[in-house]
Amino acid sequence: MISKKMVKALNEQINAEMYSAYLYLSMAAYFEAENLPGMAAWMRTQTQEETAHAMKFFDYIHERRGRVVLQAIDQPIEEWKSPLAAFEAAFEHEQMITGRIDDLVNLAVQEKDHATNAFLQWFVNEQVEEETSVDTIVQMLKMGEKAPGAMFMIDRELGQRTFTPPTQ
């Protein structure tokens, strides 16, 4: 049996993943307003990914015969001082999410819940990827800061990203 405490923590993670989706959608809107369609497209894809993460938790809770209870999603901020600032905020957000996943793993260990621990390992690996991909963009934007046309090139490159649903 999965513990009530574990189910509650997993439910809170659904909310954190949905908030991530909402935050990145807000960034997509910001990039649209800034005439950076490639970055907007990248963030839209990120929103799909975060929604898929939320659904993984949603499905897992049911598999373990727990009850999903959805909570209100906080309003994300809507303005950043530059594209670099937005991607830096995304990087910080991913680091915070990594910390949350680690806390969930610690709780699973504490609850002697090996199944949940095994389920969470996918997210442990996913967070490494998430942090790396956002950090790569932060570094690109920093390098391009003084080069004319760099923003256009980076925007075009980021627009190439497509969504691939997560596999088990």
Tokens for 70, please give them.
Answer: 């959805």
Q: Which of 88, 113, 130, 155 binds Fe ion (CB under 5 A)?
A: 130
Nearer to Fe ion by Cβ, of 50 and 113: the residue is 50
Stretch 66-95 residues interacting with Fe ion (CB under 5 A):
none
User: Alpha-carbon torsion 14, 16, 19, 24, what sign?
Assistant: negative
CB of 149 to Fe ion, least distance (A): 30
Nearer to Fe ion by Cβ, of 17 and 155: the residue is 17
53 near Fe ion (CB under 5 A): yes
Sole window of 31-39, 61-69, 123-131, 132-140 interacting with Fe ion (rule: CB under 5 A)? 123-131
Q: Which residue's Cβ has the minimum distance to Fe ion?
A: 53
Find out whether 58 and 11 touch, Cβ atoms under 8 Å: no
- CA gap 74, 21 in Å, rounded: 11
Nearer to Fe ion by Cβ, of 43 and 151: the residue is 43
Reported for 76-82, long-range contacts at CB under 8 A and 24+ positions apart, including other chains, are: 76/19, 76/22, 76/23, 76/25, 76/26, 77/26, 78/26, 78/29, 78/30, 79/30, 80/27, 80/30
Instruction: Please count the residues of this chain forming the interface with Fe ion, following the rule CB under 5 A.
Output: 4
Nearer to Fe ion by Cβ, of 40 and 151: the residue is 40
Nearer to Fe ion by Cβ, of 34 and 131: the residue is 131
Binding site for Fe ion (CB under 5 A): 17, 50, 53, 130
